[in-house]
Amino acid sequence: MAFRDTKSKIIIKTLQQIEGIKKSSQLAALTLKAVAPHVKAGVNTEYLNKFCADFIRDHKAIAATLGYHGYPKESCISVNDVICHGIPGKYELRDGDIVNIDITTILDGYFGDTSTMFMIGEVSDHAKKLIGVAKECLAIGIRQSTAGNYLGNIGFEINKYATSFGFSVVYEFCGHGVGLKFHEEPEVGHVADKNSGPKLAPGMIYTIEPMINAGKARSKVDRKDGWTARTIDGKLSAQFEHTICVTKEEALVLTDMDNEFKIPHEIF
């Protein structure tokens, strides 16, 4: 989720910075891999947060969310109708739940940001479909991330795809530039006009993190905790996030540990 900062520009990272951001990104992705076997019915979300916090610290990194604008935990864990920024706590996962865990690491001063979905036990076909579409939305955004293309085409193509299934795309939270800070320029909307926004160039690093809702797109933030963003209709929401670097070929997906995406030969 990005905070708007209109004064600054999109940073073109150096090869050295890209290397550093990649290391941090891989650690964030590795944290999700490590916690995966623990994400099951009966565990509470604070237990999972503690596991991630320990894992990040054991790898000599810092969890970027802790203390960020007052956020109280080392991860965001968003269950069912929670769109994003779910605060880990006493809630015990149960059969049929869908869960997003979002990890941002700071390693040697560099930021990496990624999230993925988990299904607890037997999940409805509807929930599976939503998760599948959200995952493909991220892949669509990555494929749009080519030098010379318009940033807006990421959101344009994601929104076109998700709405073709009757789902909606959250527009109140966005992807964001990342690497030297948690949230940098640009703001990466997951709903956008065709050929809008700045042109992409090699060395730009940002997240794509589409939040796809089963019902209405609107969100409401919990009045008590000031963070948890839920769907207004109580329907399900799913999200995947990668940190990517634009290159002269296809995008380099810095948080891809599964070799799901091709690796370009050269950045510049």
* Closer residue to ligand MF3 (CB): 80 or 104: 104
Query: Least distance (Å) from ligand MF3 to the CB of residue 105?
Result: 10
Interface with ligand MF3 includes 159 (CB under 6 A)? no
Distances (CA, A) of 234 to 229, 246, 263: 11, 36, 39
What x/- string results for residues 163 through 202 when contact with ligand MF3 is judged by CB under 6 A?
----------------------------------------
Beta bridge partners of 238: 212
| Cα–Cα distance for residue pair 231/237, rounded to 1 Å | 7
| Overall residue count recorded for the chain in this entry | 268
Nearest Cα to Cα of residue 208 among 237, 235, 236, 246: 246
Query: Least distance (Å) from ligand MF3 to the CB of residue 154?
Result: 15
- Binding segment for Co ion (CB under 5 A), chosen from 11-19, 31-39, 163-171, 240-248, is 240-248
- The pair of structure tokens assigned to 117 is 């979905």
Interface with ligand MF3 includes 209 (CB under 6 A)? yes
Query: Least distance (Å) from Co ion to the CB of residue 133?
Result: 19
Count the residues of the shown chain that bind ligand MF3, applying the rule CB under 6 A.
14
* Closer residue to Co ion (CB): 124 or 140: 140
Interface with ligand MF3 includes 256 (CB under 6 A)? no
| Segments of 108-202 assigned E as strands | 110-119, 168-169, 175-177, 184-188
Which residue do the tokens 């050269």 mark? 266
Distances (CA, A) of 10 to 41, 46, 181, 199, 244: 42, 35, 12, 11, 14
| Cα–Cα distance for residue pair 234/12, rounded to 1 Å | 40
Query: Least distance (Å) from ligand MF3 to the CB of residue 220?
Result: 16
Interface with ligand MF3 includes 3 (CB under 6 A)? no
| Cα–Cα distance for residue pair 244/178, rounded to 1 Å | 9
Site residues for Co ion, 197-226, by CB under 5 A, read: 207
| Cα–Cα distance for residue pair 240/117, rounded to 1 Å | 7
Interface with ligand MF3 includes 104 (CB under 6 A)? yes
- Contact residues: Co ion, CB under 5 A: 102, 113, 115, 207, 241
Residues binding ligand MF3 (CB under 6 A): 1, 65, 68-69, 71, 76, 85, 102, 104, 113, 207, 209, 227, 241
